[in-house]
Chains A and B, each alone.
Chain A
């Protein structure tokens, strides 16, 4: 009770949640991590409160788990791994602090979702470089901090994108601003000099890169600047169906290399059908059976200057490359209009979240790999699925070129019934079997979650040691989401 009182003094009684039902909901998620009930949920309003919470947590050795997105959660990073943890729910911090059209940047608090950000961006003729169909309650800051892949690889210069700067309360309780936000001067003073908190790099380090991918183990972000892009004035989307991947990879290489395409991604028929089926799950099978095994989607866009001319020559270039690659881009693929798909993916997922439509939940296994490794990774997953009783025909696959084509995000979506213990058991076993095999075949788990963590860090002792040094600096008492990653 003492802790509740102390927290109430910081955030106010309305913002400290002790309701058992709600605490139970956050004691687990759609992943297979061990459920652990948090002691409380606190919902700070601002940076000052967050800093006070963190300092208090250091004094009381209370683990903190920062969460900015609403449920459902899928990765296990928002489930406490230690008893007595407090969830710091940032969803009430939902201000859009600034949108700067000229500099294509938005400054937002951690609770802002994609849906909440869109109207403000749209008004300024901007759009975010989004992940594929984020769920409605997914926070933008949460997404970029997790290094989720984005669907416009042309604008993905560096894996940190679209994250630019942050204000963060380190686990030590120190407040820090990363990148150009460091100063000199306040952010307002920087704006006067034309600064826009775009550069994430600092004179000597790049703390933003350390906070990103950390699953809240380094600190709590109180605001972030997000790089955006202009909204096109003309969009010409295409789809390419193929029984196999090589021709698609060849086309994608040039689409990205020559900066022809904005949105550019590959889905297998399973995933594409689930997305298209939308609110009509009965349509899923028809769609899936009508679609080729692989579908590349991309969009060629025009902007401010002579958009028709730009799009015209780029389409010509694209068609030439497609012919050499042995594939045929079309505007409509087996009854599916590319334009319709474009509209779908330019927004967050409609409810219910597309990954839950099939069976209620979904377990994702994802990694990074170069294009040439992907066919083998698919073979590994298929084998693991077959060996563990998961129907291969039900597995969704999403391939996303990232960092301007240097590699692919390779994601396997395993839809399952969360109420079926047998299915869960099979998936757990599948995951344990598949991940080492995937790593053996060149998969890199840049973003390890839950049960993968030990397997992944077990392969890289030096990085593990280095990360622990960093952790020791910013969170000496290990109060930030302990038990995650290698801490």
Chain B
């Protein structure tokens, strides 16, 4: 259903001729998503009717109002890594927020930064580090948006000390699906960005859950995110050339990769390390991903994985701990505590990561979150993930344990890549208060058996979540998914539908991946 010429003209008048297109080639560039082929056999999803490049909140507002007027659906995207930004249905225009890319404020004393959607995490972190600060970068990578409302969930390697997106949001400027601009909390009352809640009940409760609304609730045009202390250098000295840079880190920033002999001990260690408040990162980077992280090409990654297998996967469950300190006594204390906890729980340090060069590379890869694509896509066409709900650390470990158990049979039959079975990524949050794990599994949709196995495994994990009370997986999206889980979960989907209907009465904020007002 092509845009009417009136509608196109109205949109063109808002953004200018150079910033709107219906060119089929451009539309196809936006229609391709890596995840789609696994599900539909075709990497291309539906085409948008047009792609627009708004420059400002005013542009976005005008576009959204036009959409309401002409009953056109819209879907915003920032960096666009993930199929959630796709059209989802017919008659959708894409709002590419690339031109909205400013860091508006870094308030060191009030510990927040205000960004537009196309500031990437690496840019924000680099600026923050100049002031001795950092923030939560999502595990997908620092090539993603720094706005804490774009990623699926938004936890990262440092969530033990920097929490995750849901909990880092302060004031937000939000173009509602109706075109009104809602500024949350203190921002709405004209007091600035520092608080996203109130007056009275918090609109943050509508804005997102542990998952972001994935384009289905209007457009978030600016947001303030909490920032945290960074004990490392303001500017990192980095030597070498891509892909093997060697960062220079002070002696008071270090890391250890520790393997614990059982899930039980691993869980215990996670609690202890969390509660001791020593860790900058408590990052369950599985050995498969570790091997890919530290190598320059896929074959080397496989070789390294088989080399470290006997010291990691075959011995137990592993985790990466990054320590950082502002002083030598603090550093020594943290090291001492970590070693004591490791000893108490039967953990062993991986020698590879005790090498200073490898260690510093690994630290920087995780703090800057640079290697998401390397750890997932370098060796395979498709990566699936299941589980991923958030609650206690023990709950998170249950997710991982169950994930590994379910994967085993597919690995044994050779339809899912042998990543050692335990390929769960996850993290302790907030000094041990919470946690989550995604179980990752690697397949090739172009090989029928592998594609089918991936589906079957996904179904197995969904069933396990239902039967073993392991929450609603992150991968559950859209009506289909929520209609399955909702009835077992207090009908959250019906309440969400009511919110959707109230805030998007004309149904113009495309929400295939969120939830629609209609059942």
* A residues apposed to B, CB below 8 Å: 102-105, 147, 157-160, 175-177, 180, 182-186, 189-190, 192-199, 201-215, 217-218, 227, 230, 249, 253, 257-259, 303-306, 309-310, 312-314, 316-317, 368-372, 403-407, 439, 442-448, 456-457, 459-460, 462-463, 465-467, 469-470, 472-473, 485-486
Contacts and interface: CB of A to CB of B under 8 A. Distances in A.
Nearest to B471: A180
Interface of B: 107, 109-112, 163, 166-168, 170, 176, 180-186, 188-192, 194-211, 213, 226, 229, 271-272, 275-277, 326-327, 329-330, 333, 336-337, 340-341, 389-398, 430, 432-434, 465-472, 476, 482, 485, 488-490, 492-493, 495-496, 498-499, 502-503, 514-515
Given A203-B210, A209-B204, 15 more contacts: A102-B271, A203-B492, A207-B495, A227-B433, A249-B109, A253-B109, A305-B340, A406-B112, A407-B194, A446-B185, A446-B197, A460-B188, A466-B206, A467-B200, A473-B495
A407 B200 CA distance: 17
Contacts of B397: 194
A464 B509 CA distance: 22
Given A211-B201, A305-B341, A473 B499 contact: yes
B110 A462 contact: no
Nearest to B277: A259
Given A199-B390, A462-B182, A470-B499, A205 B110 contact: no
A282 B468 CA distance: 62
20 contacts: A185-B488, A194-B398, A195-B394, A196-B394, A199-B434, A202-B489, A204-B515, A211-B201, A212-B201, A213-B199, A214-B200, A258-B326, A309-B333, A371-B110, A403-B195, A407-B110, A459-B188, A462-B182, A470-B502, A485-B200
A49 B390 CA distance: 31
A343 B469 CA distance: 41
A202 B209 contact: yes
A356 B492 CA distance: 44
Nearest to B196: A159
Contacts of A185: 468-469, 488
A456 B190 CA distance: 11
Contacts of A210: 201-202, 205-206
Contacts of B275: 104, 230, 303-304
Contacts of B211: 203-204
A368 B211 CA distance: 28
Given A158-B167, A205-B492, A403-B226, A442 B499 contact: no
B484 to A, nearest CB: 11
A473 B502 contact: yes
Given A184-B466, A194-B398, A205-B499, A470 B333 contact: no
A369 B191 contact: yes
A369 B185 CA distance: 12
B392 A194 contact: yes
B191 A442 contact: yes
A150 B96 CA distance: 41
Contacts of A407: 110, 186, 194-195
Contacts of B170: 406
Contacts of A215: 200
B326 A198 contact: no
Given A215-B200, A439-B191, A462 B492 contact: no
Given A204-B213, A304-B276, A469 B394 contact: no
A316 B329 contact: yes
A443 B191 contact: yes
A194 B434 CA distance: 11
B391 A197 contact: yes
Closest 4 interchain pairs by CB?
A: A185-B469, A194-B394, A446-B198, A209-B205
B201 A209 contact: yes
Nearest to B341: A305
Contacts of A218: 201
Contact of A470 (B109, B206, B472): B206
Contacts of A404: 111, 226
A304 B301 CA distance: 39
Nearest to A167: B490
A193 B398 contact: yes
Most buried by A among B482, B485, B499: B499
Contacts of A212: 201-202
A162 to B, nearest CB: 10
Most buried by B among A175, A217, A463: A463
Contact of A258 (B107, B197, B229): B229
B434 A202 contact: no
A198 B433 contact: yes
Nearest to A102: B271
A190 B395 CA distance: 8
A468 to B, nearest CB: 9
A208 B208 CA distance: 12
A370 B393 CA distance: 33
A460 B198 CA distance: 10
B502 A193 contact: no
A445 B503 contact: no
Contacts of B109: 249, 253, 370-372
B199 A456 contact: yes
Contacts of A439: 189-191
Nearest to A402: B195
A389 to B, nearest CB: 28
A372 B109 CA distance: 9
B198 A405 contact: no
A176 B276 CA distance: 35
Contact of A206 (B199, B205, B465): B205
B147 to A, nearest CB: 17
A159 B207 CA distance: 16
Contact of A195 (B188, B333, B391, B466): B391
Contact of B197 (A159, A193, A370): A159
B337 A305 contact: yes
Given A303-B275, A462-B180, A466-B203, A195 B395 contact: yes
Contacts of B391: 180, 190, 194-199
Contacts of A313: 327, 329-330, 333
B197 A147 contact: yes
A310 B333 CA distance: 7
A313 B336 CA distance: 14
Contacts of B499: 205, 470, 473
A203 B202 contact: no
B403 to A, nearest CB: 13
Nearest to A218: B201
B238 to A, nearest CB: 26
B113 to A, nearest CB: 11
A225 to B, nearest CB: 10
A234 to B, nearest CB: 14
